Amino acid sequence: MRTHAIWPVKILSIIVFLLGLTLLVGGIDLISAGGSWYYAISGIFLLVSAILLWANKKSGAVIYGIFFIGTLFWTLYESGFNIWGWIPRVGLPAILALWLVLCLPRLGAGVSKRMTGSLVGIIVICFAVAIYAVTGTQFSFTSGTPAPNQPLVNNGTTTTNQPDSDWQEYGRDANGTRFSPLNQITPKNVTHLQVAWEYRTHDLPPKDKPNKWAEENTPIKVGNGLFVCSATDDVIRLDPATGQQVWRWNSGVKYDSVPYTAACRGLTYFTSKVVPQGQMCHNRILVATLDARLAEVDAETGKPCDQFGNHGQESVMQGIGESVPGWLAMNDAMPIVNGVIVTNHEVLDGQARWAPSGVIRGWDAETGKFRWAWDVNRPDDHGLPPAGKTYSRGTPNSWTTMTADPQLNLVYVPTGNSAGDYYSAERSPLENKVSSSVVALDATTGHVRWVFQTTHKDVWDYDMGSQVTLFDYPGPNGTSIPAMLVPTKRGENFILDRRNGKPLSPVVEKTAPAGHIPGDPRAPTQPFSVGMPQFRKFARITESKMWGLTPVDQMMCRIMFRHSNYDGDFTAPSLKRPWLEYPSYNGGSDWGSIAYDPQTGIMVGNWNNMVFRDQLVTREYADKAHMFAINDPRYRPGTSSAEGAGAQAQTPYGVLVSPFYAPFTKMLCDEPPYGMITAVNMHTHKVIWQHALGTGQYNGPFGIPTHTPVNVGVPNNGGPIITAGGLIFVSATTDRELRAFDVRTGKEVWHYVLPTGGQATPMTYSVNGQQYVVITAGGHHFMGTPPGDYVIAFKLPSQGDEQGK
C-alpha cells in the first residue's frame, strides 16, 4: 500500500530531474554566451530536489519550494506584472508545484491535510488569477480622451465621386481610404448581422501541387454589379443582393504561372470616353493577371473588349527579356489616371540578382497601346528598349496597390528593393535612390516628380507593401494641404505632402548599425517618423523578452538570441552567424494597408509584431542545399522562394529567412501579442485605443491548434475598413474570424467564424436600401489557414424578421 502511494512522487521526481538537467546544460551554454544565470542555478536546485524526492524526503519539497519562490521573484524582476512574461517562467513550475503539494502527505512522515489543502488552495487561486489576466485586457490601451468627431480640415479638396452605396475601387475610393459613408449597421445593431448569401468561386489549388493559395480579393461594387476575381484571376459578376452569378470570364491562368501565391487582390472599373453609353465596353472591368496580361471585359456581359489590345488582352512582357512562369506576376488593381493605365508587377524574391526588371509602365486605357515606361536605370528614356535590349534587370519592383491623384496627374508607386534582396553591393546609385520608397510619377510621361525613401540601402526586405492613402491635412492659416499617409513594414507611419513628397510630420535620420559584409557597407542613418505613433511593440528586443510555453522553450530562445547578431533596428546581415530582424519584413503594415475616416480624422491599422532570424550563407552552402533560382534547370519548387531559403543567384551569398521560432515547439520566441489593431487621432497624432488582435484558436506548439479563445494577438494579413455607422470591420487573423469593433472605443462588438482564413480586406455596400458587408475567405498558405473559395455577405435581418425586432 505504501509502495503504491509513493509512485506519484517517483514519477514527479523523474520529471523534475529531466527538467533540471535540461536547464543546467542549457543554462551553462547561456552563461557562456553572456546570458542569464537563472537557468543553470535553477537546474541545480531542481536536480537536488529530484534526488531527495526520489529518496522520499520532505527536504526535496523544501528545495523545490525555494526554487519556486526564487522563480517568482526573478519573474517579477524581469517581467513585472506582464502576464505573458509569467507564463513561460512560472506556468510549468506551478503545475509541478501543485503536483508536489498533492504528494506531500506521501513524503516522509507526511504533511497534515489542512496544510496540504491550504497550499492547494493558494496555487489554484493563482491559476484562476492567471487565467483571468490572460483572457482579460492585458494588451488593451485606451487613452481615456474622446475620439474626434469632426474632419481634420473643413475646406478639403480630396473628394471622391461615387454614390454612397458603392465600393468602386480596391480601397473603396481613388484615395485608398477604405472608408464607407454607409451607416445602417451600427455598434447597437451589429450583433444582428447574419449571412445574406455565400458564393463559391471553385478556384482551388490542384491536389497534386503545393498549396500556394491566398486569394486576398476585395470585391468592388458599381451600380447593380458586384465584381469578384478568383485566386487565378477569373472575373465574376454577382448580383449584390443575392450573390447569384451573372457572368464569368475565365482567365486561363495556369498553375505554373503562380508566383509566391495565387492572389488577385482587386479589379479596376473603367468608363470609356470613346465608346458611347449603351454600347458594349462603355463600362469595363480591368484585371491584371498572374501570367502578366492586362485584360478588359465588358462590365455588363463579361465579354472581352475587342478594341483593347489583342481582342481584349495585352501582354506586359514586351521588353522584359528572360523570364519563366512564376517569376513575374501581377495581382493588384491598376489605377487609371486621365486615360492611362499604370502597371506594376511582382518579381519573385530571393531568386537572382539579374531578375526581370521592376519597370513601371503606362498604357492607353481605351486601346491598350504602350504609352511610357519608367525604368530605374534609364530614368530619362521612357520608350521601349531598343531591339535586342531589355528594361534594366534586377531593379526595384512594385508589387502592391498604387494610388493616383488625377488633379495633380500623379501616380504614387510604392517600391521594393532590388533583386538580391539581402545583398546590395551590386546595386546602382539610381537603384539605391528609389528602393523602398514612394515614387511620384507623372501619369502622362512617366517622369519622376519626387521620391521619399523609407529605408536607405534596404537589405531587410522592407519593401513598401501598403497602398498609400490620400487625405487633407491642416496647413497654415486654416489652409488645406493635399497629403498622404504612408504606412510601412517597419511600423513607421509617415505623413507627406503629396505634391512634393516633403514630410508634414517630423522625420529624423538616426544613426544605424554598420555592416558586416566586406564591400557592402550599410547606410549610416535611417529615417524615423517621430511625429506619429509607431506600429510596433518594443523599442528594442532584449533577452528578457524571449518567450515560449515552458522554461525550456524560453531558455532555448534566449540561447538563440545570444548566439545571434542584434544591434537594434537595422541590424546588418551577417554570414558567420544569424542576425535578428525587428521589426521583421512581416511587421507593421503590409498590403492590407490602413483605413482613414475623413469625417472624423481617425486612422485605423491592424499590424504584425514579429521577430525574424536570418542568415547569409556561402554560394557553396546554397548549392549543396539545392537553393537554385527559379530559372535554373536544377530548381525545384520550395528550394528557393519569397520566404525561407533564397538562392540570390549571381551574388556571393544565398540567404536563410525564418520567423524566430523555438527549435522544437515552433512557438515564436518573442512575447505576444503578434498582431495588434490601433486607432489614431490624426488631430493630435495620439493613439486613441489599441488591442491585441486575434485568438490562438488555430495556433499552438508543434503547429497543433490549441482551440483556446485567448486573445493572444496573432499574425494577420488583410486590412480594416471604417464605416460612418461607427464600425471597423477586419478579418485578416489566423483564427478565421471576421470582427467588428466600435471605432470610438475599440470594443469588439461582433464576430463571425469563417470557414477558412479571411486573409483579405472586407468591403461594404448597399442595395435596395440594405447595407451588406462582404469578405473573401480564401485562406493563406503562409498564414497556415487552409485554402478556400468563399465570398460571404452579411446584412441585418429584413424588416419584419423576428431576429431584427
Query: Grid cell 481617425 — which residue?
Result: 602
Question: Of 298, 461, 742, 789, which one is the catalytic site residue?
Answer: 461
What per-residue confidence (pLDDT) applies to 639? 72
Measured between alpha carbons, how far is residue 552 from residues 25, 85, 306, 617, 753 in Å?
11, 14, 65, 28, 34
What confidence tier does 454 reach under pLDDT thresholds 50, 70, 90? very high
Across the range 606-625, mean pLDDT stands at: 96
β-sheet with 653-659: strand ranges across? 579-581, 612-618, 653-659, 645-646
Q: Is the distance from CB of 94 to CB of 145 less than 8 angstroms?
A: no
| C-alpha torsion angle, residues 693, 694, 695, 696 (rounded to 10) | -110
Contacts of 7 (CB under 8 A, 6+ apart): none
What confidence tier does 707 reach under pLDDT thresholds 50, 70, 90? confident
Average pLDDT, the chain: 93
Gap between the Cα atoms of 315 and 293, Å rounded: 4
What per-residue confidence (pLDDT) applies to 1? 39
Q: Which range, 6-15, 145-154, 189-198, is most confident?
A: 189-198
What per-residue confidence (pLDDT) applies to 3? 47
pLDDT in tens, 389-446: 999 999 999 999 999 999 999 999 999 999 999 999 999 999 999 999 999 999 999 9
What per-residue confidence (pLDDT) applies to 786? 93
What confidence tier does 706 reach under pLDDT thresholds 50, 70, 90? confident
Gap between the Cα atoms of 674 and 801, Å rounded: 40
Burial class (CB in 10 A: 0-12, 13-18, 19+), 160: middle
Is 375 annotated as catalytic? no
Measured between alpha carbons, how far is residue 387 from residues 40, 310, 655, 721, 756 in Å?
69, 22, 35, 47, 49
Across the range 638-660, mean pLDDT stands at: 87
pLDDT in tens, 323-360: 999 999 999 999 999 999 999 999 999 999 999 999 99
Gap between the Cα atoms of 144 and 27, Å rounded: 44
Gap between the Cα atoms of 295 and 289, Å rounded: 8
What confidence tier does 802 reach under pLDDT thresholds 50, 70, 90? very low
Q: Would you say residue 129 has pLDDT above 70?
A: no
What per-residue confidence (pLDDT) applies to 141? 75
What confidence tier does 110 reach under pLDDT thresholds 50, 70, 90? low
Gap between the Cα atoms of 522 and 576, Å rounded: 17
Contacts of 349 (CB under 8 A, 6+ apart): 260, 421, 461, 641, 642, 646
What cell numbers appear for 613 in the block? 532570424
Q: Is the distance from CB of 780 to CB of 214 less than 8 angstroms?
A: yes
180 Cα distance to chain centroid:
23
Across the range 553-572, mean pLDDT stands at: 97
pLDDT in tens, 470-514: 999 999 988 999 999 999 999 999 999 999 999 999 999 999 999
What per-residue confidence (pLDDT) applies to 5? 60
DSSP 8-state assignment for residue 723: E
Gap between the Cα atoms of 406 and 261, Å rounded: 32
pLDDT in tens, 508-534: 999 999 999 999 999 999 999 999 999
Across the range 247-271, mean pLDDT stands at: 96
Residue 486's nearest CA partner among 505, 502, 465, 469 is 469
Range 763-784 burial, b when 16+ CB lie within 10 A, else e: bbbbbeebbbbbbbbbbbbbbe
pLDDT in tens, 148-187: 989 999 877 787 889 999 999 999 999 999 999 999 999 9
What cell numbers appear for 265 in the block? 487582390
Measured between alpha carbons, how far is residue 1 from residues 7, 13, 103 in Å?
11, 20, 15
Query: Grid cell 528578457 — which residue?
Result: 544
What confidence tier does 117 reach under pLDDT thresholds 50, 70, 90? low
Element (H, E) at 204: none
pLDDT in tens, 592-605: 999 999 999 999 99
Q: What is the pTM of this model?
A: 0.94
Gap between the Cα atoms of 503 and 391, Å rounded: 32
Gap between the Cα atoms of 430 and 438, Å rounded: 14
Phi, psi of 279, rounded to the nearest 5 degrees? -95, 160
What per-residue confidence (pLDDT) applies to 116? 62
What per-residue confidence (pLDDT) applies to 182? 98
Q: Would you say residue 455 has pLDDT above 60?
A: yes
Is the Cα dihedral 528, 533, 537, 538 positive or negative? positive
